Chains A and B, each alone.
Chain A
Amino acid sequence: MSNNPQQSSQQQNAKTVRLMLLIVIGMFGFGFAMVPLYDLLCSVTGLNGSTTGRIQDVSQLTGRVDYNRVITVEFDATNNADLPWEFRPTIKKLDVHPGEIKEVSYFVKNNASHAIVAQAIPGITPWQATSHFNKTECFCFIQQKLEPGEGKEMALRFVIDPDLPKEYKTITLSYTFMDTDRSKLKQNGEMPKLQTSVTGNLPNNNI
C-alpha cells in the first residue's frame, strides 16, 4: 500500500482495467478462433454433414468388408442459385457392403456461354454417418472449371467404414455446386431496389 491513497487507487484501477482489456482482446480472438475450432469440431464429429471425408489409406477399412450388411447409398445433386450447370448423379442409388470400395460418377455440363469455376459442397444425412463415409477420390476435393458447353463425368470413389452403427441403413450423399465467383451474391452498388411499390408487385402478387 502506498502512502498516498489516491495514487494507490489509481494503480489499482489501472490494474483492473488492464485485466479487463485482456479479457476483451482474448474474447475478440476467441471469436476468430471459433472458425478453425468449429471446423475441427465438425470434421471430427461430422456435425454439419459436410466434411470432405478424404482419406489416403483404405487398407484398414477394406480388410474388414462386412458382406452381411447392405447399406443403400443415395446420390443427390443440387445447383446453387444462378449456376447454369446441368448436374446430376449418373445413378440414383447403390447398395454397398461396408468396407467395399465403390466408384460412381456425377455428370456435369456448363450450359452458359462463359467459363465458370465452381466448388461442390458435400453433404451427408444422417449426419452420424459423415465420419464413417470415406472418399479416396472426389470431384469435391478441388474446384471444377468448365468451359462453355463443356460436359464431363466426374468420379467419386468411396468406402464406408464397417464401424458405422448398425441402425443406419440408408445414407444420402448430396452435392451442391456453388459458383466460386461470389460477387454475384453481393448485389452492391448496381443492384436495383429489389422490391417495388406498396400496391404489391411481389412474386405472383400482381396478377
Chain B
Amino acid sequence: MVLASPPADDGASALQRMLGDNVITTTLEKMWNWARSWSFWPLSYGCNCCPIEMMAAGGARFDIARFGYEVFRAVPRQADLLVVAGPITLKMAPVVKRVYEQMPSPKWVLAMGNCATSGGPFRDGYSILPGADSLFKVDIYVPGCPPRPEALFHGLLELKRRVERGEY
C-alpha cells in the first residue's frame, strides 16, 4: 500500500496559493496597531496657550482630522492618548494621575509644550511638577512655548509610527 505523499510546502504558502490576492493574512495585533495608529482618541489636559494651539490644530486650517485624531474626548474611559498641554500643579497632580489610570490600555501620553516636558519657566517654583514624566511614562515630548500645530502633528505622527510598529 502506498501512502499519499506529504505536501511539498508548508501550510502558510498553501493557504497563500489557495486564497491568491483576495485575502490578506496578518496577525490581529498588527491589524489592531494599524487601526490604533490612525485613530487616536485624545484626552486633553491643558491650561492656556498650548490648548489654543491644540484647538488650532483641530480647526479647519491645520485639520487634525486628516490623520484621524480629531475625536477629542472629555472622558478618560473613552480615550487612549493623554495630551498633557500645560504645567501640572501639585494640587492637580493626583487628579491627572487618576485620569491617566482611568484610561483603558493600551494608552499613550504626549507631553505638549515646555511645561509638560520639563516644568518650563515654573520648574523651580513651589507648586509645579518638573514635567509630566514625574507622574507617568511619557511617550512623546513636543517642546515649544507653545508648540505650533505642525509640531504637534510631528509628535503625533512620530507616535503613530511607533504604534504601527508595535513599539510601545
**Do the two chains bind?**
no
Residues of chain B touching chain A, judged by Cβ–Cβ distance below 8 Å, are none
Chain A contact residues, CB within 8 Å of chain B: none
